[in-house]
Amino acid sequence: MNATDATTTDATTAAAGTTGGGPGRPSVAVVTGASSGIGRATAIALAQAGHTVAIGYRTDRAAARRTAALAGGRTMLLPLDLADPAAAARAVDGAAVHLGGLDILVNCAGINRRSPVLDESLADWERILTVDLTGPFACAQAAARRMVRQGRGGRIVNVTSVHEFTPILGGAAYCAAKGGLGELTKVLALELAPYGITVNAVSPGETATRMNGVPDDGDVARLARPAIPVGRPGRATEVAAAIVHLTGPDAAYTTGISLTVDGGLSLMSAIANQRDAAHEQPAHQHRTRSVNAPAATTGTTDTRTTDTRTTATRTSDTRTTTVETTDTRANPWL
């Protein structure tokens, strides 16, 4: 790492950060995977909040420079490849040396692929686990060691996925890695809390990024997603806002959580089955039901209405009760 990798607009007067940078000294953040998508949005938001930001990238230096230009403030380009966890950890520590400390680490870099279990190769499995789990562990360990030595606390945020909790077809390696990173987050939170270091995860749902096939300038409001309650994918800036919150002073009492930002997608797991079950019921079961009751004692007519819209009509011979048990038209999900 050399000095030409640093870009500064006003290094001497950069605003102090929010996690213990100290008076007159900006706090320092490292964001992996910051050349695009959620990582870029996070690096920009942290820089605009006054932090010095090391912009981690794997190979696309031009894209990392674009992030730096959009961020403004004091930034540094940080080549870092999670496929080599030991080298990635050294890069994180080197950035701390170069920038005078480390207060925030955001583990955002990762890869995503799909393969059926029966077709998955060990090489591809190990690649996903290395980049999405072992690499973030190595970076978090390096950052935590640095933060402990500094003695002023810190923040670590791991970007997982809704697939930390929810399986997806073809996602054996990816789900295993993200689930592991979620559990790692909890262990780190337990062990590092005595040092004033909080560790949390943010688990995004579908987010409109290049990795998901959406250009950076795409309008997510035009992308219909009927299976997501809010009706669209998320914006990278919306996920970044949650990450930045967890790095700030208002989150000092929050540690060991996974904050899901998915537009309600993870709430939908039972809806398809609910819809199918409702449609498979015979009409008389989910529309109306008639029941013959014993004879009434009088010949009067009594019409009653309850919260289930039950109407009872008494005659001298029988009482017929009509119950509207389910009105599928009232629920747009059915």
For residue 174, the one-letter residue type is Y
Give the E-state strand segments of the chain in sequence order. Answer: 6-7, 28-31, 52-57, 75-79, 104-107, 154-159, 197-204, 258-261, 289-293, 310-314, 319-323
Judge whether 241 and 214 are in contact, CB under 8 Å.
no
* Residue 109, phi then psi, degrees to nearest 5: -65, 145
Q: Which of 57, 174, 195, 253 is catalytic?
A: 174
The pair phi, psi for residue 129, each rounded to 5°, is -65, -35
d(CA 170, CA 176): 11
How far is residue 87's CA from residue 81's CA, in Å, rounded to a whole number?
Answer: 7
* SS3 (DSSP) at 115: strand
Token readout for 180 is 């592991």
CA distance 279 to 287: 11
Active site residue 174: yes
Catalytic residue list: 174
